[in-house]
């Protein structure tokens, strides 16, 4: 190459560096591309996405052809620099050292770091375009790639690092899926984002977290006088009412208000007539995940379940509306007796019922009460104090200052939350 002009060799060197940069671009973009976005584009018929998918299905072959080209070009660049130095500087050791440093810097700058940074910023655009070139290159150099991969596979087997076929496919966990939803905030409406996150939480939330406790349930006693039953039905606030005999633990059925209204046309409702229209109660074990319960409601075409503990004691009820509200937020109207569960005071404190669920309290007021123990504020206070507090007792739990306003029948009835971190959130919840 002694007769080759210097400018030709320099142009050849630049060309080799650019080609090496292409392989660096391809490698980083192929590894960084969003696989789910790629699958979507492939299903839409995008040819580049289909080619990229085929290349990524055989990662060892793809990396083989990329690294083969990249290393050949880098080696050729270093060799060309050595030839230039030999032609113009002879055996000058200093010139050889400076040439080595310069070609290393040029490879790092133009063939490695800069292309890879660009590819990491625009992986989809570059990978889809590069697939049109890499696909035929892989076919041309397949014998060489196959030969090299024989040694690679043998080395991996010796090191016991050969991945099994079932381990190659990427799988994501629920927590990873939540992160994807959160980071997709620019593409998903905030309301839809919240619904998706709530839906993913149904596996970890149980019926105990949304239960309506038995102390707040309207129920009909079949052993009561007919006048009492008739008056109760006329003033009830719900469409489905549990029916018991003599004691609340003895649930014998569920009656629908619509069927009762039909019977009222023929006269006064009695216990005997209720027994003809009520259906058998549906019992739900305590601790059942909401997602499973939603499926059970759908399969059995039932809207109300009676939650019982391991001893068969009736704890309360859960409805399909309660589960749906966990996904999309509140949409049902509450009974008049439950419309003032949050009462804001002039000093900024808020009075709440002790029976309120901690999940509702956290959601409404943007608080951080722990959810891995008791389900209600009353339960949390009793667990913390290990005693039944008297009215006027103050307590601080996880940084929130609470004052017990009223206790009755060994239960904390009302509580004043004295410190609300974000008053704007609390005001929005109360409006």
* Domain-wise residue ranges, the chain: 6-168, 207-328, 340-430
pTM score of the predicted model:
0.62
Q: DSSP letter at 393?
A: -
What's the fold here for domain 207-328? Answer: CBS-domain (3.10.580)
Q: Nearest to residue 254, comparing CAs of 229, 231, 282, 234?
A: 282
Q: Residue 398 CB: number of other CB atoms within 10 A?
A: 10
Distance CA 155, CA 38 (A): 31
pLDDT score recorded for residue 430: 52
Encode the chain (431 residues) as per-residue pLDDT tens digits: 556 777 888 899 999 999 999 999 999 999 999 888 898 899 998 999 999 999 998 888 899 999 999 999 999 999 998 888 888 887 778 888 888 899 999 999 999 999 999 999 999 999 999 999 999 999 999 899 888 888 888 888 888 776 655 444 556 777 777 777 777 666 677 777 878 888 888 878 889 888 888 878 888 898 888 888 888 888 888 888 899 988 888 899 998 878 887 777 766 778 888 888 889 999 999 989 998 999 999 999 899 999 998 888 899 999 998 888 888 877 655 555 454 567 888 877 889 888 888 888 888 888 888 888 888 888 899 998 888 888 888 888 888 889 999 888 888 889 998 866 555 544 555 55
Distance CA 16, CA 80 (A): 10
pLDDT score recorded for residue 165: 53
Distance CA 165, CA 46 (A): 27
DSSP 41-80: HHHTT-HHHHHHHHHHHTHHHHHHHHHHHHHHHHHHHHHH
Burial pattern 56-66, b for ≥16 Cβ within 10 A else e, equals beeeebbbbbb
Q: Are 274 and 222 in contact (CB under 8 A)?
A: yes
Q: Nearest to residue 344, comparing CAs of 429, 275, 258, 219?
A: 429
Q: Are 195 and 327 in contact (CB under 8 A)?
A: yes
For residue 103, give both structure tokens: 């070609």
Q: Are 254 and 283 in contact (CB under 8 A)?
A: no
Q: Give me the torsion for CA of 373, 376, 379, 381, rounded to 10°.
A: 100
Residues paired with residue 279 on neighbouring β-strands, in sequence order: 254
* Strands 240-244 and 251-256, sheet pairing: antiparallel
Q: Give me the torsion for CA of 279, 213, 330, 348, rounded to 10°.
A: 160
| Residues contacting residue 350 through CB under 8 Å, at least 6 positions apart | 342, 343, 344, 365, 416, 417, 420, 426, 430
Q: Are 70 and 153 in contact (CB under 8 A)?
A: no
pLDDT score recorded for residue 185: 61
Distance of CA 214 to the CA centre of its chain: 32
Helices (H), 301-357: 320-328
Q: Nearest to residue 73, comparing CAs of 19, 121, 22?
A: 19
Q: Are 18 and 70 in contact (CB under 8 A)?
A: no
Q: Are 233 and 269 in contact (CB under 8 A)?
A: yes
| Residues contacting residue 246 through CB under 8 Å, at least 6 positions apart | 221, 223
Q: Nearest to residue 345, comparing CAs of 403, 385, 298, 278?
A: 403
What's the fold here for domain 340-430? Answer: 3.30.465
Q: Residue 367 CB: number of other CB atoms within 10 A?
A: 19
User: Helix 59-89 crosses helix 47-57 at what angle (to 10 degrees)?
Assistant: 90
pLDDT score recorded for residue 1: 54
pLDDT score recorded for residue 164: 59
């Amino acid at each position: 190459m002694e007769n080759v002009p210097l400018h030709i060799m320099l142009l050849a060197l630049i060309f080799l560096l650019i080609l090496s940069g292409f392989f660096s671009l391809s490698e980083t973009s192929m590894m960084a591309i969003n696989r789910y976005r790629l699958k979507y584009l492939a299903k839409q018929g995008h040819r580049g996405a289909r080619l990229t998918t085929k290349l990524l299905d055989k990662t060892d072959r793809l990396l083989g052809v990329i690294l083969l080209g990249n290393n050949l070009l880098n080696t050729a660049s270093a060799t060309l620099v050595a030839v230039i130095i030999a032609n113009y500087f002879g055996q000058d050791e200093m010139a050889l050292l400076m040439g080595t440093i310069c070609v290393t810097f040029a490879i790092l700058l133009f063939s490695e770091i800069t292309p890879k940074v660009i590819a990491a910023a625009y992986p989809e655009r570059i990978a889809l375009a590069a697939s049109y070139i890499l696909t035929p290159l892989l076919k041309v150099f397949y014998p060489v790639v196959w030969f090299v991969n024989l040694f690679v596979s043998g080395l991996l087997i010796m090191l016991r690092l050969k991945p099994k076929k079932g381990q190659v496919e990427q799988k994501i966990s629920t927590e990873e899926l939540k992160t994807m939803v959160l980071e997709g905030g620019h593409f998903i409406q905030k309301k839809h984002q919240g619904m998706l996150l709530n839906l993913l939480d149904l596996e970890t939330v149980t019926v105990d977290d949304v239960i309506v406790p038995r102390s707040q349930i309207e129920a009909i006693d079949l052993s009561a006088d007919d006048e009492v039953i008739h008056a109760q039905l006329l003033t009830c606030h719900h469409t489905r009412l549990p029916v018991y005999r003599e004691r609340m633990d003895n649930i014998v059925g569920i009656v629908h208000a619509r069927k009762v209204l039909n019977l009222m046309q023929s006269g006064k409702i009695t216990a005997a007539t209720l027994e003809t229209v009520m259906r058998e109660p549906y019992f739900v074990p305590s601790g059942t995940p909401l997602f499973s319960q939603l499926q059970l409601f759908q399969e059995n075409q039932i809207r109300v379940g009676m939650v019982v503990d391991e001893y068969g004691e009736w704890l309360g009820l859960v409805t399909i509306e309660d589960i749906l509200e966990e996904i999309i937020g509140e949409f049902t109207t509450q009974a008049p007796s439950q419309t003032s569960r949050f009462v804001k005071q002039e000093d900024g404190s808020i009075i709440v019922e002790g029976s309120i669920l901690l999940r509702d309290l956290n959601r409404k007021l943007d608080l951080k009460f722990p959810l891995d123990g008791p389900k209600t504020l009353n339960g949390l206070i009793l667990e913390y104090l290990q005693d039944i507090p008297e009215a006027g007792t103050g307590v601080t739990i996880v940084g929130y200052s609470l004052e017990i306003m009223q206790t009755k029948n060994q239960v904390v009835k009302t509580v004043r939350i004295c410190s609300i971190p974000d008053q704007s959130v609390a005001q929005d919840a109360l409006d």
